[in-house]
Amino acid sequence: MTEQTQVNGTKGLPSGDLGRRLAARRSRLGLTTEETAARAGMAPSYVTHLERHPDAAPGRGALLTLAAALQTTVSELTGGDTDVPPGREQAGRAPEFTELSRAECRELLSTHGVGRVAVSTELGPAIVPVNYSVVDDTIVFRTARGATPALACGSLVAFEIDRVDDVFSQGWSVLARGYAREVTDSDEERRLAERAYSAPWAGGRRDMWVRVEPYALTGRRIVT
């Protein structure tokens, strides 16, 4: 038996943190363990076992059933698409394209997470990902002095977030444009640290707060 088979229980399946991805996916859909189990025709205790035990090794049939119940793919559940950009699937047969209202854009933006900020550098435009939060209707993120995101300060920038669902060939994107400034007031820095959704994934010393005040919010959604 190969190491790949031992990890996944089925030859050829990619490795990954199944339990964490399973729990995250059902939470995104607003499902409880019991509801997920009912959709998949499994015992709730088995779904709980998969989420809590890193060494759980369900067969391909169980993974396919879970993926269908959670409206996703086996590859996504097992981490096989980690290094693959989204959007590789074909377009839907009858896609519907709609513009998002400002209120819808603000709601999607307020979910927090990872966004991309576009800045000007000596070598030309650059787009870099940052962990961000929304505080007082403004976009805030932490970075390190001298890092590319720090170049946003004192200029107009573009900030974008999106979500792509390869299973259904649909998704949305929100674009914010606004003026970025460095937060220098210690009380404001402390308040942002208390209200920020998460710390930068990159780790290290990133004690420079940047606030983007949007003057324009636009977005679009594609559904099938």
In this predicted structure, the answer to whether residue 92 has a pLDDT above a threshold of 70 is: no
- Looking at the domain assignment, is residue 162 inside a domain? yes
Give the pLDDT confidence of 29-46 residue by residue, as tens digits: 899 999 999 999 999 999
* Residues 119 and 181 occupy one common structural domain: yes
Give the pLDDT confidence of 147-201 residue by residue, as tens digits: 999 999 999 999 999 988 766 677 899 999 999 999 999 998 888 888 887 778 7
* End-of-domain residue from the set 78, 110, 144: 78
* Residues 30 and 72 occupy one common structural domain: yes
- Looking at the domain assignment, is residue 91 inside a domain? no
What is the rounded average pLDDT of the residues 131-152?
93
* Nearest alpha carbon to residue 3 among 11, 49, 129: 11
What is the overall mean pLDDT for the chain? 84
* End-of-domain residue from the set 46, 78, 110: 78
- Looking at the domain assignment, is residue 69 inside a domain? yes
Say which residue the tokens 């997470």 belong to: 113
Residue 13's pLDDT is what? 42
Domain count, the chain: 2
- Looking at the domain assignment, is residue 117 inside a domain? yes
Can you tell me the distance from the alpha carbon of 148 to that of 104, in angstroms, rounded to the nearest whole number? 29
pLDDT band at 90; cut points 50, 70, 90: low
Taking phi over 0 as left and psi of -120 to 50 as alpha, with beta for the rest, 62 belongs to alpha
CATH of the domain at 54: 1.10.260.40
Task: Tell me which range, 2-6, 70-74, 196-200, is most confidently predicted by mean pLDDT.
Answer: 70-74
* Residues 120 and 207 occupy one common structural domain: yes
* Residues 106 and 209 occupy one common structural domain: yes
Spatial neighbors of 98 by CB under 8 A, at least 6 apart, are 220, 221, 222, 223
Residue type, position 218, single letter = T
* Residues 7 and 100 occupy one common structural domain: no
CATH of the domain at 162: 2.30.110.10
* Residues 124 and 73 occupy one common structural domain: no
In this predicted structure, the answer to whether residue 141 has a pLDDT above a threshold of 80 is: yes
Helix (H) or strand (E) holding 165: strand 155-165
Percent of the chain with pLDDT over 70: 86
What is the rounded average pLDDT of the residues 7-35?
72
Residue type, position 208, single letter = M
Residue 75's pLDDT is what? 80
Residue 183, domain extent:
96-223
* Residues 73 and 100 occupy one common structural domain: no
* Residues 125 and 215 occupy one common structural domain: yes
* Residues 126 and 34 occupy one common structural domain: no
Can you tell me the distance from the alpha carbon of 206 to that of 200, in angstroms, rounded to the nearest whole number? 8
* Residues 106 and 214 occupy one common structural domain: yes
- Cβ pair 109, 174 in contact under 8 A: yes
- Dihedral angle, C-alpha 159, 88, 93, 27, nearest 10 °: -70
* Residues 111 and 193 occupy one common structural domain: yes
Can you tell me the distance from the alpha carbon of 172 to that of 142, in angstroms, rounded to the nearest whole number? 25
- Looking at the domain assignment, is residue 84 inside a domain? no
- Looking at the domain assignment, is residue 89 inside a domain? no
* Residues 127 and 61 occupy one common structural domain: no
* End-of-domain residue from the set 47, 78, 109: 78
Residue 91's pLDDT is what? 67
Helix/strand/coil (H, E, C) string of 80-103? CCCCCCCCCCCCCCCCEEEECCHH
